[in-house]
Amino acid sequence: MAAIQDHEYLKLCAEIARHLSISLSSARRRVDLVAAKEGVRDVQERKAIAQRLLEEARLDSANEDASSKQLDSLLEALVEEENFMVED
């Protein structure tokens, strides 16, 4: 299948790639797979799928930020446990 050259579609795929830390071709492939599962062939419908995947990626990255902050707080050493060593 020839690659879609629509600027808005490419921009959405680039944003998906940025949020998921994957390549642009992987992001496009991800949109293509969802479109194939849903039987979508129209460019406008693919844009809608890309927009939906972008929103999901944004939500996941927001949740990941909260999770990483929580993990950081859990890994901080308490004052009374600061010099504690575990034997091998």
Taking only the tens place, the pLDDT of each residue in 49-79 is: 999 999 998 888 777 766 677 777 777 766 6
What is the predicted pLDDT for the residue at 72? Answer: 74
pLDDT band at 39 (very low <50, low <70, confident <90, very high): very high
Amino acid 80: pLDDT: 67
- The whole-angstrom distance between residue 38's C-alpha and the CA centroid of its chain comes to 20
pLDDT exceeds cutoff 70 at 48: yes
Rounded-to-integer distance, Cα 36 and Cα 31, Å: 9
pLDDT for position 4: 66
Residue type, 69: K
Cβ atoms within 10 Å of 52's Cβ, excluding its own: 13
For residue 62, the Cα-to-chain-centroid distance in whole angstroms is 10
**Contact of 5 with 24, CB cutoff 8 Å:** no
